A = this chain, B = another copy of it.
Amino acid sequence: VIRETVPPIAENPAPKKTLGILGGMGPAATADFLAKLTAQTPAKFDQEHIRSVVCCFSDIPDRTDAILARGPSPVPAMLRSLALLEQCGVANIAIPCNTAHYWFEAMQRNTIVPIIHIVDAVREALIDQGALGRPVGLLATTATIRAGVYANRLASHGIDCLCPLDDDQAMVMDAIRQIKAGANNRKLESGLHVVMQRLRRRGAGSIVLGCTELPLVYPKDAPGVLDSTAALARECIRQHIRES
């Protein structure tokens, strides 16, 4: 539906690779991912940044409800987003939502575009930080934990996960819901801090913020805390620099 003055594609014969972002889960986490992607890219002006298309369909059904409470599946909506990104000609896809990775294989089967797995990005960051040798503490949705999104994928690399005990996990889940509702306060941050301290006392080395809502309230660059959103952004940048 291009009209009038649109020049022939040939005028821009080799556009740079475009990153597809399957976002909306939730939308604030998507914005945070895009901000971190930009902040971490070595660029002196706009044109050196990574091209991206963001599909921010916030009405994708809740992932946790689907896994734990037989809520409607988010898969059809996620596949529609993937199809749209594919039609936009993206070279690879990032999904800044950890819980959505429960359906990673189903999504990857349905698109020819490679999807960058967020847990692989976290694993690379853990390796770079020399954070192996001790179990990692995992703050994530109850669905991410029960579905083994991290445990299964890290175990094959010899990394053990340590998760909060039930009461603490309920507190983490409550914090995630509050952040999705727009909350951002000291009480949330200090509540999460207490949960992390207990994980450390049980033997955790690094703590992984394995839900992309959590970095929205937890301070950047807190020592020993690994932000899965930032790790995913870094892996996207690494792949784009390697391939361009």
Contacts and interface: CB of A to CB of B under 8 A. Distances in A.
Interface string A1-24: 111111100011001101001001
Number of copies: 2
B53 A2 contact: no
B62 A47 contact: yes
Interface residues of A, number: 65
A11 B54 contact: no
A76 interface: yes
A91 interface: no
B51 A56 contact: yes
A105 B220 CA distance: 41
Query: Which are the 9 A-B pairs with shortest beta-carbon distances?
Result: A54-B54, A49-B58, A31-B35, A31-B34, A26-B46, A52-B56, A27-B38, A28-B38, A7-B76
Interface of A: 1-7, 11-12, 15-16, 18, 21, 24-28, 30-32, 34-35, 37-39, 43-62, 75-77, 79-80, 83-84, 86-88, 106, 109-112, 177, 180-182
Given A31-B32, A51-B56, 15 more contacts: A2-B83, A4-B110, A5-B110, A6-B83, A7-B76, A26-B45, A26-B46, A31-B31, A32-B35, A34-B54, A47-B59, A49-B58, A51-B59, A52-B56, A87-B87
